[in-house]
């Protein structure tokens, strides 16, 4: 039996693993600047939490969740998104009782049983944030500016911010009626999914990749917004314009999840093909209440790390790592009784901040040199039986094809000197 990674999953390795690390580092730096704290929630939660938060009628809950029963008969699901677990944690730790304001970010894998394709996986990674307790348009602008900084810090500047308002519980029903009437007139060209959505969640039809081309003349939520939602929307746009934030209005933009209200947004990047959404988010003022808490507003987003890495590195993402050759030092052992000194040299080099590796005792020097080459070493320190008697080792500079015998004590300063010259 040959084992492979499950369909829709992959090993993050080489350049891609490095890219993820870099994305995480720059994200953490920017989150700190905006006052966010990290939270790491479990990768599985009670299945009911997702049903309640994400919505029974969404594709995620209906078709894509990995649901299982544990040995105690508990119904659990691998998290398909981050927000539900964070709202659960927010209430569980009673953060709503200490003023309600909380800014949290997360980085981690999510799981959805979608049909895998380029840029769409069953295990994928998200960087996300939730800002609780501030209902103002200023909070929305703050989140969008954070996103812009975060993407720029990750080297992604060629992005588009698409923004819309989907209203609130007061004005959305009016829009829903108008939309239903419109979609009814389009019955003939609706896909099977949209026909189903029509009865349960007609707004989602606007989001349908198959049918959206037919909906250019659909009623726009913007025209049905109530006074308060309209004012919120205007204020947000005013704030964004005042700081020259580049955005596009996207009157047909809705979100796949049920919990959004007012501001929704999506970020796209060129060169990603059909799956060009880098991230998305919006305001979800009723979710905390829906999950049993008080009436606390919130706004958040999630960025897809897999797509961020691919937008940044393109085809070179699958390439192997090319380390800076002179940064790696390989310690080779030649002869009896050299293991102990070799081991000490290795530890000294690592303590001094060098990337160092050691050959296996008993292997021929030739085999160790092949290993050093494959490991892309810049230097090899040969700890040989004869030289050791004189307290010396051989230092080989693999780039310059030079070698010299030196005192063990002078090893670090000699390597530094040679590095500076190269
Ligand atoms: P969502 O939680 O659906 O709003 O998605 C937010 C972002 O996560 C998307 O814009 C994508 O960048 C990323 N994403 C969502 N689903 C997947 C997936 N199956 N594979 C890879 N990335 C995904």
User: Does 159 lie in the same domain as 261?
Assistant: yes
Kindly state if the Cβ of 240 falls inside 6 Å of ligand 1.
no
User: Does 359 lie in the same domain as 282?
Assistant: no
- For 240-258, write each residue's pLDDT tens digit: 999 999 999 998 888 766 6
Pick the last residue of a domain from 318, 352, 368. Answer: 318
pTM score above 0.75: yes
User: Does 154 lie in the same domain as 44?
Assistant: yes
Residue 241 lies in a domain: yes
Kindly state if the Cβ of 79 falls inside 6 Å of ligand 1.
no
**CATH label of the domain that carries residue 383:** 3.40.50.800
Residue 124: pLDDT over 80: yes
Percent of the chain topping pLDDT 90: 74
- For 273-287, write each residue's pLDDT tens digit: 878 899 999 999 999
For the record, the structure tokens of 192 come out as 């099977």
Kindly state if the Cβ of 126 falls inside 6 Å of ligand 1.
yes
Pick the last residue of a domain from 285, 318, 351. Answer: 318
Residues with Cβ within 8 Å of residue 389, at least 6 apart in sequence: none
- Annotate 108-134 with DSSP letters as a single string: EEEE-----BTTB-SEEEEEEEEEES-
pLDDT at 189: 84
Q: Give residue 279 CA to ligand 1 midpoint distance, Å.
A: 7
Q: State the Cα–Cα distance between residues 313 and 307, nearest whole angstrom.
A: 10
Give yes or no for a contact between 126 and 305, defined as CB atoms under 8 angstroms apart: yes
Q: State the Cα–Cα distance between residues 300 and 309, nearest whole angstrom.
A: 21
- How many domains is the chain partitioned into structurally? 2
Candidate from 132-141, 173-182, 350-359 with smallest mean pLDDT? 173-182
Look at residues 262, 410, 393, 250 and name the one whose alpha carbon lies nearest to residue 330.
Answer: 393
pLDDT at 359: 96
User: Does 254 lie in the same domain as 134?
Assistant: yes
- For 86-109, write each residue's pLDDT tens digit: 999 999 999 999 888 999 999 999
pLDDT at 169: 87
Residue 321: pLDDT over 80: no
Pick the last residue of a domain from 318, 339, 367. Answer: 318
User: Does 344 lie in the same domain as 246?
Assistant: no
Phi-psi group of 391: left, alpha or beta (phi > 0 → left; psi -120 to 50 → alpha; rest → beta) = left
For the record, the structure tokens of 378 come out as 């810049």
- At residue 292 the predicted structure's pLDDT band, cuts being 50, 70 and 90, is very high
Helices (H), 260-335: 287-290, 305-313
Helices (H), 274-354: 287-290, 305-313, 339-351
Residue 304 lies in a domain: yes
Give yes or no for a contact between 87 and 104, defined as CB atoms under 8 angstroms apart: no
**CATH label of the domain that carries residue 249:** 3.30.930.10
User: Does 403 lie in the same domain as 292?
Assistant: no
User: Does 329 lie in the same domain as 290?
Assistant: no
Q: Report, as an integer, the average pLDDT of 303-316.
A: 91
Percent of the chain topping pLDDT 70: 98
User: Does 279 lie in the same domain as 306?
Assistant: yes
Angle at 156 between CA 155 and CA 162, to 5 degrees: 160
Q: Report, as an integer, the average pLDDT of 194-217.
A: 82
Q: What are phi and psi of 177, to 5 degrees?
A: -60, -50
**Ligand 1 atom 21: residue of nearest CA:** 120
Containing structural domain, residue 310: 14-171+225-318
User: Does 154 lie in the same domain as 258?
Assistant: yes
Look at residues 128, 130, 132 and name the one whose alpha carbon lies nearest to residue 98.
Answer: 132
For the chain, give the mean pLDDT.
Answer: 93
Residue 127 lies in a domain: yes
Kindly state if the Cβ of 259 falls inside 6 Å of ligand 1.
no
Candidate from 152-161, 187-196, 263-272 with smallest mean pLDDT? 187-196
Under DSSP, the state recorded for 60 is: I
Q: State the Cα–Cα distance between residues 84 and 288, nearest whole angstrom.
A: 9
């Amino acid at each position: 039996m040959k084992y492979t990674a499950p369909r829709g999953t992959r090993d993050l390795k080489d350049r891609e693993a490095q890219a993820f690390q870099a994305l995480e580092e720059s994200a953490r730096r920017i989150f700190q600047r905006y006052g966010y704290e990290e939270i790491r929630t479990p990768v599985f939660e009670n299945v009911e939490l997702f049903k309640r938060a994400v919505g029974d009628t969404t594709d995620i809950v209906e078709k894509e969740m990995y649901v299982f029963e544990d040995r105690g008969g508990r119904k659990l699901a691998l998290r398909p998104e981050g927000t539900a677990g964070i709202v659960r944690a927010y209430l569980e730790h009673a953060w709503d009782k200490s003023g309600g304001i909380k800014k949290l970010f997360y980085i981690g894998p999510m799981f959805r049983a979608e049909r895998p394709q380029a840029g769409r996986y069953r295990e994928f990674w998200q960087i996300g944030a939730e800002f609780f307790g501030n209902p103002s348009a200023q909070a929305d602008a703050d989140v969008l500016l954070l996103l812009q900084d975060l993407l720029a810090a990750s080297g992604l500047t060629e992005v588009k911010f698409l923004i819309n308002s989907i209203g609130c519980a007061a004005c959305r029903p009016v829009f829903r009626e108008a939309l239903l009437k419109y979609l009814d007139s389009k019955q003939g060209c609706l896909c099977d999914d949209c026909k189903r959505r029509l009865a349960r969640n007609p707004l989602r039809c606007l989001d349908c990749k198959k049918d959206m081309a037919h909906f250019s003349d659909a009623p726009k939520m913007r025209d049905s917004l109530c006074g308060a939602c309209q004012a919120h929307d205007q204020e947000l746009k005013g704030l964004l314009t005042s700081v020259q934030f580049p955005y596009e209005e996207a009157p047909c933009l809705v979100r796949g999840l049920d919990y959004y209200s007012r501001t929704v947004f999506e970020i796209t990047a060129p060169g990603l093909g059909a799956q060009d959404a880098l991230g998305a988010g919006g305001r979800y003022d009723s979710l905390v209440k829906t999950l049993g808490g008080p009436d606390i507003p919130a706004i958040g987003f999630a960025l897809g790390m897999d797509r961020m890495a691919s937008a940044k590195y393109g085809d070179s993402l699958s390439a192997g790592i090319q380390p800076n050759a002179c940064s790696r030092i390989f310690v080779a052992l030649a002869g009896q009784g050299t293991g102990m000194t070799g081991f000490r040299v290795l530890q000294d080099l690592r303590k001094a901040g060098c990337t160092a590796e050691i050959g296996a005792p008993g292997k021929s020097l030739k085999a160790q040199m092949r290993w050093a080459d494959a490991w892309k070493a810049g230097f090899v320190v040969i700890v040989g039986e004869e030289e050791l008697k004189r307290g010396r080792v051989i230092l080989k500079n693999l780039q310059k094809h030079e070698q010299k015998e030196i005192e063990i004590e002078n090893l670090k300063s000699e390597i530094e000197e040679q590095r500076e010259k190269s």
